[in-house]
Amino acid sequence: MEETLNVLKDVKLVIDSAVILVEHPGDGASKRKKVIRIVEDFIKKNGIAFPFPSSMVEWFIGEAIDFMVGWINDNLWKKEKGKNK
């Protein structure tokens, strides 16, 4: 189980990196698909097989993407008072 948690942490790091890599204004659905493709390629190329259903992996990836995008929006794209960055 500890190994699975470590692999999930690695996948989360790939998700975070991919979100930053594809970031640009607008086109959210397309960026999300690119991130998912990057993560799926990472999982496939590293022969990762999780001991739970693929629907749980898909849920984890989606939630992790949403979390990272939210964090970026709140912390990197902050708006100064009266100004847009």
Tens of pLDDT, residues 8-51: 999 999 999 999 999 888 899 999 999 999 999 999 999 999 99
The pair of three-digit structure tokens given for residue 15, joined into one six-digit string: 């998700």
Residue 84: band (very low, low, confident or very high) from pLDDT cuts 50, 70, 90: low
Could you tell me the pTM of the whole model?
0.84
The pair of three-digit structure tokens given for residue 36, joined into one six-digit string: 């998912």
Q: Name residue 4's amino acid.
A: T
53 or 4: which leads in pLDDT: 53
Task: Note whether 60 and 13 are within 8 A (CB).
Answer: no
